Amino acid sequence: MNHVYSWREAPKAQFAVIGDPVDHSLSPQMHNAAYAALGLPFEYVAIQVPPGEVSQALDHLRELEYRGTNVTVPHKEEALSWCKHVDGFCEQVQAVNTIDVRRRAGVNTDANGFLATLGDMTPSSVLLMGAGGSAKSIARALVRDGWTVRIWNRTHEKAVDLARLAGAAVTDEADPTGAALILNTTSASLQGDDLPVLWERTVKDAIAYDLAYGDSPFLKVAAEHGLRTMNGLPMLVEQGALALEWWTGESAPRAVMAKALEKGPEKPTGTKEQG
């Protein structure tokens, strides 16, 4: 676990991740390893910010001359309202996850960070589970890139809203029939819960992908059914690399960042919203 600062007691540093909770985040160890490798005199810390206090916290970090912050749950929407400059994608999904504090500018690296981990996969069919902030950006990006997306969520109305936003379809069951990619963006893995996936309907060579960056019941059951599995560590590296490059103009040392995460967490963790 990280040492976590409350925002009112934030130390002198240059970069941070803000969230609630945030003690699980692997971003500090990853970013600090990257800055050391690049010879940059920067420090990255974890800062706890309760809901409703994001604007105050970011104002305070700006006074402390922080350069940038990453934003994790549940603050991606609240942080958007603090920013004065955001790109079109942030406006579409109504969320930011990376902020240039000095310029009050925000971007969202969820989609590009995720898509980079798919490599040369040919767009096909995906069953996406969840409807939180990460799901919004990823669903929209997948549809944009030619994927056929079906959305399942515990709260059906949220799935309907996301499908309307992204141009996707809704499914009443977590049915992976025909899906080359079965993607979990829910908080189930963080809570040690399984999901009601109809695993017997999976196709050969399908990939089960969990945005949590540890082992999870979802990935365990998927492996038992012969599926290939991926967790969220590669996405974390890509998101972090994109943020570092945007903040500093330096080329991110992705191999160093991945190396810093090799030990990983002891249980599933990540930056996902409740679906």
Q: Quick check: pTM over 0.95?
A: no
- Please determine, for residue 271, whether its predicted confidence score (pLDDT) is greater than 50: no
Report the top-level CATH class of 4-108+235-260. alpha beta
- Please determine, for residue 19, whether its predicted confidence score (pLDDT) is greater than 70: yes
Question: What is the reported pLDDT for 23?
Answer: 87
Question: What is the reported pLDDT for 267?
Answer: 53
Active site residues: 76
When pLDDT is averaged across residues 229-235 and rounded to a whole number, the result is 94
Give residue limits of the domains in the chain: 4-108+235-260, 112-231
Confidence of residue 229 (pLDDT cuts 50, 70, 90): very high
Question: What is the reported pLDDT for 275?
Answer: 33
Do domains 4-108+235-260 and 112-231 share one topology? The answer is: yes
Q: Pick the range with the lowest mean pLDDT from 173-182, 247-256, 259-268.
A: 259-268
- Please determine, for residue 17, whether its predicted confidence score (pLDDT) is greater than 80: yes
When pLDDT is averaged across residues 152-176 and rounded to a whole number, the result is 96
Q: Cβ distance 113 to 137 under 8 Å?
A: no
- Please determine, for residue 190, whether its predicted confidence score (pLDDT) is greater than 80: no
Report the top-level CATH class of 112-231. alpha beta
Percent of the chain having pLDDT more than 90?
A: 77
Question: What is the reported pLDDT for 134?
Answer: 84
- Please determine, for residue 244, whether its predicted confidence score (pLDDT) is greater than 70: yes
Average pLDDT over the chain reads: 91
When pLDDT is averaged across residues 38-51 and rounded to a whole number, the result is 97
When pLDDT is averaged across residues 5-25 and rounded to a whole number, the result is 94
Question: What is the reported pLDDT for 239?
Answer: 95
- Please determine, for residue 110, whether its predicted confidence score (pLDDT) is greater than 50: yes
